[in-house]
């Protein structure tokens, strides 16, 4: 296959964070033509802000990081079409309106889609997932004037949908198949903490409960769900939030190798020359150390786009993201995780866990039993600096070092109460190791922020 010429466009399918970041960074480094194709929206928007549109905190236009004129000014062509097939031999895209487009290099950034598992009634009106802007528009239309809803699935999208519905005074029943909320990801104590918090907000949380079927009314709208226990729960809306899957249908039909996601190497290259995949839809054949094979997160999509842009502009660069991290919000409790904190600790691991008496804040450190090296951190209700835990994990610091210097990681606003000494006392009680927390380093207090 011939190398693309400078005049042949880089075409990116998908205008989410991965695709748009790639387009922007290619433009910074090269004058080559860039085309971004999406059937979802005209312009890039912050997918993580969808819930705040529904809750009335933002408008759709507030979720667009760039003004509409930005794309013309930066010579990035936006195309609102749907690609049905890729002819990888001819380097040609086929659209659903029977038109075609040639490409030089092709980036697949097609994102994810909500999981549905063939439940009877899952196609009824008022039954949906939440991933795209059209999903939000459907939810807006189908929840007008309703009083009861059911949300199925105990993950991050599920709790977001629960909060969205709850904000409008809609009674929500939340079906979670695990013994506590998100127990397949969180250790038992943190899962129980969030379960309590949901119930305190008036959420009807049903644990160890799965969906069996959805029942229609005379107009073909959902009127109830039936649980795995045989209970019928009345509702006028059912949110299906049992995870997402990489959006690979177009790639599969075009002969591009896929498993769960589109298979790529450390350079985001598929087996087809000049075809790449990034973001939620990509699956590493060999994941980077400490990372997942599929990373459906906002920040990882941004990292993917930045890294691939280097390769596409002549500086072939492998993806090296460093330690895992993530953050979320469960109503008014913030959550951060760094490194590897499993739902159940491995044999070589030990865990220290502290929870505030009020039941709204907690801190967990997982460490190697032999070397005491820090493996991962979970924190709820206290803001900690990502840069510090990223540094300590990269440097192989011990759990004692992290607790001793915890003040340097504290990111809560001035005059907030801090808990370093309380955490250190609990660590001594559980491990027998005495640690005197150090005050925040003056270098950290006066360090000027770095802006790119």
pTM of the model: 0.93
> Which pair of structure tokens corresponds to residue 113?
């889609």
Q: Burial of 301 by CB count in 10 Å (0-12 exposed, 13-18 middle, 19+ buried)?
A: buried
Strand pairing class (211-216; 222-227):
antiparallel
Confidence class of residue 5 from pLDDT cuts 50, 70 and 90? low
- Taking domain 325-443, whether its CATH number is 3.50.50.60 is answered by yes
* pLDDT tens digit sequence for 37-66: 999 999 999 999 999 999 999 999 999 999
One of 3.50.50.60, 3.40.50.2300, 3.40.1010.10, 3.20.20.70 is the CATH number of 10-113+245-312, namely 3.50.50.60
* Same fold for the pair 10-113+245-312 and 127-242: yes
Percent of the chain, pLDDT > 70?
96
**Going edge to edge, which strands form the sheet with 148-152?**
127-128, 237-240, 148-152, 171-175, 204-206
Q: Give phi and psi for 444, each to the nearest 5.
A: -80, -35
Backbone angle region of 14, left / alpha / beta, with phi > 0 → left and psi within -120 to 50 → alpha: left
Task: Report whether pLDDT(202) > 50.
Answer: yes
* pLDDT tens digit sequence for 236-272: 999 999 999 999 999 999 999 999 999 999 999 999 9
> Which pair of structure tokens corresponds to residue 2?
């011939």
Q: Where along the chain do its domains lie?
A: 10-113+245-312, 127-242, 325-443
DSSP 438: P
Closest CA to 8 of 24, 30, 25: 30
Structure confidence at residue 446 (pLDDT):
46
Q: Which CATH architecture has domain 127-242?
A: 3-Layer(bba) Sandwich (3.50)
Residues in the chain, overall count: 452
* pLDDT tens digit sequence for 215-237: 999 999 999 999 999 999 999 99
Instruction: Please give the average per-residue pLDDT across 185-205, as a whole number.
Output: 98
Q: Burial of 95 by CB count in 10 Å (0-12 exposed, 13-18 middle, 19+ buried)?
A: middle
């Amino acid at each position: 296959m011939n190398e693309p010429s400078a005049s042949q466009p880089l075409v990116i399918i998908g205008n989410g964070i991965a695709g748009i970041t790639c387009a922007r960074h290619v433009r910074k480094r090269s004058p080559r033509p860039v085309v971004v194709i999406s059937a979802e929206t005209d312009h890039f928007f912050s997918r993580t802000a969808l819930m705040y549109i529904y809750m009335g905190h933002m408008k759709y236009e507030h979720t667009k990081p760039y003004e509409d004129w930005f794309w013309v000014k930066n010579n990035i062509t936006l195309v609102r079409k749907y690609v049905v097939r890729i002819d990888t031999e001819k380097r040609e895209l086929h659209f659903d309106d029977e038109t075609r487009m040639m490409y030089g290099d092709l980036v697949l950034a097609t994102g994810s889609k909500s999981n549905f598992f063939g439940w009877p009634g899952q196609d009824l009106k008022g039954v949906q997932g939440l991933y795209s802007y059209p999903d939000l528009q459907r939810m807006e239309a189908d929840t007008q004037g309703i009083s009861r809803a059911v949300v199925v699935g105990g993950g991050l999208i599920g709790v977001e949908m629960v909060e969205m519905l709850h904000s409008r005074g809609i009674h929500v029943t939340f079906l979670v198949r695990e013994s506590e909320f998100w127990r397949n990801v969180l250790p038992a104590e943190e899962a129980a903490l969030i379960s309590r918090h949901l119930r305190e907000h008036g959420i009807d949380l049903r644990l160890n409960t799965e969906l069996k079927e959805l029942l229609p009314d005379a107009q073909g709208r959902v009127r109830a769900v039936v649980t795995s226990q045989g209970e019928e729960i009345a509702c006028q809306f059912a949110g299906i939030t049992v995870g997402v899957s990489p959006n690979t249908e177009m790639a599969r039909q075009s002969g591009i190798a896929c498993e769960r996601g589109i298979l790529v190497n450390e350079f985001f290259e598929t087996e087809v020359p000049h075809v790449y995949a990034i973001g939620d839809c990509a699956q590493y054949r060999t994941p980077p150390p400490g990372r997942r094979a599929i990373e459906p997160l906002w920040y990882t999509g941004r990292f993917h786009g930045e890294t691939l842009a280097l390769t596409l502009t002549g500086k072939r660069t492998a993806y090296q993201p460093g330690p895992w991290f993530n953050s979320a919000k469960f109503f008014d409790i913030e959550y951060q995780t760094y490194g590897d904190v499993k739902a159940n600790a491995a044999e070589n691991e030990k865990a220290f866990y502290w929870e505030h008496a009020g039941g709204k804040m907690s801190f967990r450190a997982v460490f190697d039993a032999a070397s005491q090296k820090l493996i991962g951190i979970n924190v709820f209700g206290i803001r900690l600096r990502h840069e510090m835990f990223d540094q300590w994990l990269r440097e192989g610091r011990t759990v004692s070092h992290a607790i001793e210097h915890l003040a340097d990681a504290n990111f809560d606003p001035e005059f907030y109460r801090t808990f370093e000494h309380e955490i250190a006392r609990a660590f001594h009680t559980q491990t027998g190791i005495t640690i005197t927390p150090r005050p925040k380093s003056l270098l950290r207090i006066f360090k000027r922020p770095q802006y790119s």
